[in-house]
Structure 1
Amino acid sequence: MERTLLLVPSGSFYYFNSMQLPDVVVFPVFREVHGASEMVWKAMRKLRLAASSLFYTDWYKDLQSFSKIIVFDLTVWLDPALLRNINRHKNPDAKCYLYSWNIVRDKQVVLGHLAACRKYGFSYYSYDENDCKQYGFRFNTIMYDENLRLPERALTSDILFLGFLKDRKAKMLALHQIISDAGMKPEFVIVENGNQHEDLPFTIRHSYVNYADYLDMVSQSKAILDITQQGQNGFSMRVMESIFLNKKLVSTNMALLSANFYDPNNILVIDLQNPDEEALTVFLRSEFHPYSQETRHYYSVGSWINRFQQ
């Protein structure tokens, strides 16, 4: 029997802690540590010591039983010794993959990860085709749990944004105003650590919003706002949520216009610098067209796992 191990950075990583698939096991890399143990754990990670494995969760004891191992890139940022530790203790026939759903920001660190992949027998995959072309990664899409369902809630907003404000304050304020002026209700939830934004018409959260709470927000909104990073053409989790949770999507990602699932009734690509007020209003007031089962299955976690090939 073939078993797949998915290693994620934490137990609260999106929907993965509650996902159930046959012969697929999901683990956070590290167990929770506190006090003096936490100090030792941090020191081992900083020194890139193989002994960081002392703080792994139970996946490490069972490593020999897996035929496919998929490691999310954030886990390697947490533990530079992770790929080496896996290579030393895995089943010799196991196929190993590092998957990135972040665009390259720190080139030297990512090149270090790529070198470690080559040394320890991992194939490096990315969700962003631009990065794949530039750095020689292999491509795999982003994915979603096709069994996940939203709680039933009455709609309280027309469009939802959850994220960091960063340097987008003026643009987000303008977009919020356009939606409000059209007689619709935006719900912009900004996550900030210590910054004061009492003057903004946004909901401010000063701590992490867990995914279950976020999905509760999504259930109460007609559409989701997706603001991509400069240079990004990989599809974000917001795109997957739109497809699987039956929500309209307003996005700045131009690559969506050439996606095989693109439906102008469901997806509006905007220029945040100069949004089209009329197009936005018409879009948010029109009905959603459910995506095909074929599209949903293609972007499911199960199909995503099958696309990893040595």
Structure 2
Amino acid sequence: MGTDQANQVLEVDVPAPVDFRGRTILVISPRFFGYELRIVEHLRSRGARVDYLNERLGDSAVVKVMLRLATALMKRFSRRYFRRSIERLAGKSYDDVLIISPESCDSEVVQWLRGAFPGARFILYMWDSFENKFPRGVEPYLQLFDKCLTFDERDAATYAIEFRPLFFCDEGPVEGGQPDFAFSFVGTIHSDRYRILRTMVACADAAKLPYFIYPYLPTRLHYWLFRVIKREFKGRRLSDFMFRGMPYQDVLEVLRSSFAIVDVEHPGQQGLTMRTLEVLGAGKKLITTNVNIKKYSFYNSNEIFILDRLNPEVPTTFFREPRGMPSKEFNGAYGLTGWANSIFQ
């Protein structure tokens, strides 16, 4: 990765290929819309022997909330979970242990893992900001790893670690005929996402533009909580939201049927989301609130529209000309193959 700080351009190089044949890898990652499984499957397809361990002791909404609120209690349960997991893996050896965006896997657990697998190289990859995961500081944790990477350019500079954006799955451009929707959104409702989407929908209705919105909430409890604390939820019904995540193949179908895709990142986030790279890798136009995308060498204002969070309106002219196909260099740098090569270089 080369960074031209003076011009604020981020260039991600196509990494050299890695030979994974016969390599033994332990991947410890939270479940995240199936992306962790796609990483595991990709490594196996290239000849690696891979074991996967969920970074959380469970995936229910209750567990996720407890991890954030009842930290001391959940730490005890999480450590017991990792103890048993390590015992189950006893007798195995690994070349690499990859830990992705940990929340339960604290310093003590990493030390247990290092003791259990002394010959392994330990790699940390963050697809969330350190501020979200380590509010009390991350420096001592980073020292437990042999290699650290993050999708967040600001965190990379702050902690002097490697900057490595996320990836899109190497499935090539999405083929399709005339799009059914001018724009679409499939994602979890958080922060100011719903307010922005409601404004976009009102503008689209006025301009008679077709659209598809899949506003996902993890639980009905989230809906009732947001009814109390978020003004834009006033008058909204349970039926206005989805409480089951959309399967990946269905997401691809929505992508295929859309002229442009909407991406609304968390206000505190600097790095590019998985959705951003999926859209560009599929040869679709992107509507995003993430102004940091202007720093990247692939940015093109004809293909990527920067949405104002306070006035989220898209000119209808943006929907006239379709986007061209991504370059071979873009695919090589930002596809899953390139990501895996960077991580395990």
Question: What TM-score do the two structures reach when normalised by structure 1?
Answer: 0.79
Who is 2:116 aligned against? 89
Match of 1:138 in 2: 162
Which residue of 2 is the match for residue 284 of structure 1? 319
Q: Go from structure 1 to structure 2 and tell me whether the alpha carbon gap of 1:249 and 1:277 turns closer, same or farther (over 3 Å shift).
A: closer
* Shift of residue 253, structure 1, vs aligned partner: 1.2
The letter for the 1-side match of 2:264 is I
| 8 Å Cα contact 2:191-2:266 kept in structure 1 | no
Does the Cα contact within 8 Å between 1:31 and 1:56 map onto a contact in 2? no
The CA deviation string for residues 28-53 of structure 1, in whole angstroms up to 9 with x for no partner, is 4369889xxx9xxx978535536624
The residue that corresponds to 1:52 in the other structure is 82
Cα offset, 1:57, TM superposition = 10
Rounded to whole Å, the distance in 1 between the matches of 2:90 and 2:137 is: 29
Give the C-alpha shift of residue 164 in structure 1. 0.5
* Rounded Cα–Cα distance in structure 2 between residues aligned with 1:227 and 1:240: 13
Deviation string 1:249-295 (CA, Å, 9 cap, x unpaired) is 101111212311112232111212124543xx111221111110111
Q: Does the alignment pair 1:70 with 2:95?
A: no
How far off is 1:183 after superposition?
A: 2.3
- Taking the aligned partners of 2:87 and 2:274, their CA distance within structure 1 comes to 26
Deviations 1:91-119 (A, max 9, x none): 52x3211111112334755625x42341x
Contact 1:87 1:121 survives alignment (8 Å): no
1:213-252 equivalent positions in 2, closer than 5 A? 213-252=250-289
2:334 equivalent in structure 1: 299
In 2, Cα distance between equivalents of 1:305 and 1:277: 35
Unmatched tracts of structure 1, length 5 or more: none
Aligned residues of 1:226 and 1:239 also touching (Cα < 8 A): yes
| Residue number in structure 1 paired with 2:126 | 100
Gaps of 5+ in 2: 1-21, 64-71, 225-232
One of 138, 155, 161 as aligned partner of 2:179: 155
1:19/1:145 contact within 8 Å kept: no
Deviations 1:162-187 (A, max 9, x none): 22054444432222112222221122
Using CA pairs below 8 Å that are at least 6 residues apart, which structure has the higher relative contact order? 2
Number of the residue aligned with 1:258: 295
**In the TM superposition, what is the alpha-carbon distance from 1:203 to its structure 2 partner?**
5.0
How far apart, CA to CA, are the structure 2 residues paired with 1:198 and 1:9?
33
TM-score, length-scaled by structure 2: 0.71
Distance 2:193 2:36 in 1: 28
- Contact 1:98/1:125 (8 A) holds in 2: yes
What code does the residue aligned with 1:83 have? Answer: V
1:121 is paired with a residue whose SS is coil
The DSSP-based 3-state class of the residue aligned with 1:78 is coil
User: Deviations for 1:58-78, whole angstroms, at most 9, x for unmatched residues?
Assistant: 7x35751x32332111xx313
Residues 99-143 of structure 1: CA distance to partner in whole angstroms, max 9, x if unpaired? Answer: 11112334755625x42341x334332111112223443321111
Distance 1:62 1:156 in 2: 54
Spell out, residue by residue over 1:160-218, the C-alpha distance to the aligned partner (whole angstroms, 9 max, x if none): 11220544444322221122222211222212232266955995102333433333322
Q: 1:33/1:301 Cα in 2 relative to 1: closer, same or farther (>3 Å)?
A: closer
Which amino acid is 1:105 matched to? E
Q: CA 1:256/1:47 → structure 2, altered by over 3 Å: closer, same or farther?
A: same
Structure 1 distance, partners of 2:74, 2:309, is: 43
- The structure 2 residue matched to 1:179, chosen from 204, 222, 227, is 204
Q: Secondary structure at the match of 2:35?
A: coil
Instruction: Please identify runs of 4+ aligned residues in structure 1 that moved more than 6 A.
Output: 30-34, 151-154
Residue aligned with 2:130, SS:
coil
> Partners in 1 of 2:125 and 2:86 — Cα distance?
19
Cα gap change, 1:121 to 1:151, in 2 (>3 Å)? same
The answer to whether the Cα contact below 8 Å between 1:189 and 1:203 also exists between their aligned partners in 2 is no
Q: Report the aligned-residue RMSD.
A: 3.6
Offset of residue 82 of structure 1: 4.0
User: Does the 8 A contact of 1:158 with 1:223 survive in 2?
Assistant: yes
- Between the aligned residues of both structures, percent identity stands at 18
**Residues 62 and 142 of structure 1: CA distance in aligned 2, closer, same or farther (over 3 Å):** farther
Code of the aligned partner of 1:71: I
1:211 corresponds in structure 2 to 248
Structure 2 CA distance for aligned equivalents of residues 78 and 107 of structure 1: 10
